[in-house]
Structure 1
């Protein structure tokens, strides 16, 4: 029994991280890659920036937005700063003579609520959602709107890129987003992405005006909006040349807090799957379950594998070999798990230097990410999750970053 549980848990982990991308790649290769037709003209775009207490970076963000390679007469810059109790609204108001607009009220109801409240001010046919602490490459908006030449495209996700120079945590985070970039490429080729990057996501305005379930405010805005588009029969595609650059969280603890909040919101979406999933498209449902629903369950599989392995050592099977974790395979597998968690512990105590050190940090990154998932699950089960996010400090948060020099190629 312990052997079966062990291999079931291992298979779940392997399928989530490697099996799904492999199957996705095979299916995507069976479909010819079709380029998007050229746009007849550039659409009117509203760049909607969600900014909660971002006084340290909002000026640099607006400067970056005003410098984008997009016709100024076809670009509206709108900042949703609901709930900010620092100087963010005043700083944004200082850009009014450059055409920057502000949506603000003192009450705080969460990011999704701030976005929805600002929408009536949006004049663009395409609404581009962004955060305040990320910076776009100069061509980002042109690359982001290009796929809308296909009338069945309802949303486009750009690429999230982690800035260089943030140590092992930044390198691991950057590697993770390259992995995600690869998956999004394959999903786009197959038909649609199952999610988007919330800090660089473009959505057709008319789709945002359609009714949304009341639970939308409890879910992650990027994932919910992707589901909202897919459910209405439109595609969500990936534009890798539209790049958004940001710095990694200032510490592992801050990154864990950010991920825990996202995972709690993911479980909320899972709870209301009957309202948000595109049930008319079984292929997409399989993709969403494989890519978005299994990820938060990986820590449970990791715990299950460890418990099953310990049981196989305490009460070893007399026969069955590797399949039943009989001796000596029970000890070998336990030793491998112990080695993995030891490396994670060592990597978590300090940020290793050098290429080998960066590789050794990967177990710490994976364990920390799955630990955050457990925290998110706990908050969901105990009702302690909230749509109000705690602002996470980024490294060199006050630095006025430039997307032209900070990004590293993202897959």
Structure 2
């Protein structure tokens, strides 16, 4: 039983990070890329939710005004509800350039603000964005083109982490390149199952407001699109640029909230999972659900490995399968070395070659530590739906 549980936990982690992408790549080879799409310029609303973003909002507006899309077809709508700084005042300075502001003093959360903004939307397509990211000039065109396919309900762009922010930035950037690869393969099959909320386009007539208690509004909106029988297309050339969090602890805090929302999404399986579309369901379970459970599986594998050392199996099957000596010790040593490397990664010079090497285990462990924190917060109902702003590097 100990060996069986170990291989269940360890196998799940290996499948999630390596097996699933490998299977996707194999299956995607039998599907051709969609497109090229006909030229189209539908009316688009760029909806930016901004809470206390006085340091970023002007740069975001200038970036939005510089997008390569007909100005008469692009509505720039910024909702700054709850902001107690100069964000509304700064936005108002752009009124003569067509930038629209919605503002109320009470803070009710991001989703409440978005819901309040929806009646003011004029575009056929809504592009959701944050205030601290920067778009490439072609983003809107790349996002709207796949809607030429009637079965496409949403299009997600690519999140790109700017270079030059040390080991944390490089690890975060590597993760998003890996995530981009997975989404490309998914998009060739039943459509991608994860979205980047800061560069997400949805047909306005398909928008559904998530319930008030939802933590990850973008995840919920994307999964509802899938559940209703539509596809989410991944547009890797629609790139949104961000700086990494100011510290590893800030990144853990940011991810913990996201993980709490992912656990919450699992409890909404009845309304969010595409049970009538087996391929889409497999992709969703592999990419979203099992990825969420990696932290639990890592802990489970370590505990079972320790038990296998303390109480070696005497069954007659193969030693590796039953986790008997010497494999129980070898696998435990491997795990211990991995966690030591993760510990060292947070303590050596992150700009050295050694620091960059060992920071990859550090990033993985920190990410999944955030997963455990998120699970605790979700179970204890300590995760608020209000977004606690995490600072990004600026220099």
In 2, the alpha carbon distance for the partners of 1:93 and 1:10 equals 54
1:213–1:275 CA contact under 8 A, matched in 2: no
Match of 2:227 among 227, 231, 236: 231
1:191–1:235 CA contact under 8 A, matched in 2: yes
In 2, the alpha carbon distance for the partners of 1:270 and 1:184 equals 20
Q: Note the alpha carbon deviations across 1:188-229, whole angstroms, 9 max, x for none.
A: 111311021100011111111x5x5635x5131221111121
Tell me the residue number matched to 1:371.
Answer: 369
Tell me the residue number matched to 1:277.
Answer: 273
Tell me the residue number matched to 1:13.
Answer: 13
Q: Note the alpha carbon deviations across 1:134-185, whole angstroms, 9 max, x for none.
A: 0001111111111112122111111100001111000000000000100110
Give the CA deviation at 1:354: 3.8
Structure-to-structure mapping, 1:24-173, within 5 angstroms: 24-39=24-39, 41-173=40-172
Structure-to-structure mapping, 1:199-278, within 5 angstroms: 199-208=198-207, 210=208, 212=209, 214=211, 217-278=213-274
1:51–1:58 CA contact under 8 A, matched in 2: yes
Give the CA deviation at 1:48: 0.4
Q: Note the alpha carbon deviations across 1:16-39, whole angstroms, 9 max, x for none.
A: 111111111122112233324313
Instruction: Please report the RMSD computed on the Cα atoms of aligned residues, expressed in angstroms.
Output: 1.5
Single out whichever of 306-315 and 364-373 deviates more from structure 2. Answer: 306-315
In 1, the alpha carbon distance for the partners of 2:155 and 2:91 equals 27
1:195–1:222 CA contact under 8 A, matched in 2: no
Are residue 312 (structure 1) and residue 312 (structure 2) matched?
Answer: no
1:313–1:331 CA contact under 8 A, matched in 2: yes
Q: Note the alpha carbon deviations across 1:58-88, whole angstroms, 9 max, x for none.
A: 1111011111111111111111212111111
2:224–2:271 CA contact under 8 A, matched in 1: no
Larger RCO of the pair (alpha carbons < 8 Å, separation 6+): 1
- TM-score normalised by structure 1 residue count: 0.92
Give the CA deviation at 1:355: 4.2
Give the CA deviation at 1:359: 2.5
